[in-house]
Copies of this chain bind each other. A is one copy, B any other.
Amino acid sequence: MNLLLQHIHQHSKLTADEDTLVLSNFKTKKLKKNEYLLRANEVCRYESFIIKGCLKAYTLDEQGAEHIALFGVENWYVGDLYSFLTAQPSTLYIAALEDTEILQIDKSTLDKLLTDVPTMERYFRILFQNAFVATQARAIEAISLTAEQRYEIFLKRYPNINQRIPQYLIASYLGITPQFLSKIRKKKT
């Protein structure tokens, strides 16, 4: 079964007809490695579910340095949810780290889908609830935990991603230098 439908069925039981209707509202998009899904100052028009591949979402500081906000892999949504919901310009860049395939839905299509298939409300209620928790957790971690603790959480949050992502990007996600990340990794083994 399609990865997106599997994901939805974890929370919302749909009929076969509803499965078909839901899928027809998402559009497939392919990104080559290094291609952008979103740039800062654009409005994020889509919620994007990752079928295959890996992306990074990041901000650029005034010196032009990347700060990784999050990674996305299979079974995750990527996008700037605030921008998507409010139609305000995004603060994020999102780019593919591998050749990537996503399923996209725009805001007005989503609004209509939720009216047409009310069982999907549960799925998106849980999705937005999780997005709220994840955003808060990331902010709390940044100010209250050590780099070692943040690395432990990273490994749990992205169990199979460690080998797919360059170490300097993981260091950026943790807010530390690659050298310091290397020290933490050596201590663990």
A133's partner among B85, B114, B122, B124 (CB-CB below 8 A) is: B85
A60 at the interface (CB under 8 A from B): no
Q: How far is A137 from B85 in the complex, measured between Cα atoms in Å?
A: 11
With A125-B124, A128-B125, A128-B129 in contact, is A82–B136 under 8 Å at CB? yes
A29: shortest Cβ distance to chain B, in Å?
Answer: 24
A121 at the interface (CB under 8 A from B): yes
B122, A128: Cβ atoms closer than 8 Å = no
B132, A122: Cβ atoms closer than 8 Å = no
Instruction: Give the chain B neighbours of A86 by CB distance below 8 A.
Output: 133, 137
A118: shortest Cβ distance to chain B, in Å?
Answer: 7
Query: A interface, how many residues as a size bin?
Result: 20 to 34
Return the CB mask of A106-142 against B: 1 if under 8 Å, else 0.
0000000010001101101100110111011101100
Q: How far is A31 from B81 in the complex, measured between Cα atoms in Å?
A: 36
Q: How far is A122 from B113 in the complex, measured between Cα atoms in Å?
A: 12
B132, A82: Cβ atoms closer than 8 Å = yes
B133, A135: Cβ atoms closer than 8 Å = no
Q: Which of A3-56 contact B (CB under 8 A)?
A: none
Q: How far is A133 from B121 in the complex, measured between Cα atoms in Å?
A: 18
A128's partner among B91, B132, B137 (CB-CB below 8 A) is: B132
**A-B pairs with beta carbons under 8 Å apart, 17 shown:** A82-B137, A85-B129, A85-B132, A85-B133, A86-B137, A114-B122, A118-B118, A118-B119, A118-B121, A118-B122, A121-B121, A121-B122, A121-B125, A125-B128, A131-B132, A132-B135, A139-B139
